[in-house]
Structure 1
């Protein structure tokens, strides 16, 4: 469930821009710019893209949940 806490990338065609959360290596951002992308980097704490996730393990049927800390939520089951 590490993906829930990972920095996000959002690409949009119109307008043509790439929003990247801080947390990516400057070399990765530079690479995108050299490829012609219009890159905007925003502070990861702004929480522009929150996610919640649930995973069911196929082997034992256990259910795992994760809540994005950007939204200050908690994973809970009932």
Structure 2
């Protein structure tokens, strides 16, 4: 009897778990003249200090450098 009640309790607890979270990694790009900054999703191969080759600063057309890489938790809606 105890085993059956324990199993039922376990099943109910699994149904009531908090929503799962997804971790999203972002890269912050900054103009080398420090007059522009943007955030995009992380691309494998990104590292802090890397000069981005495929994008330029929209303000003065100078190079963009990776300033920071960080992660945020986002809840997954059911």
Instruction: Specify if TM > 0.5.
Output: no
1 or 2 for the larger relative contact order (CA 8 Å, sep ≥6)? 2
TM (norm. structure 1) is 0.29
| TM-score, L = length of structure 2 | 0.29
Q: Which has the higher strand share?
A: 2
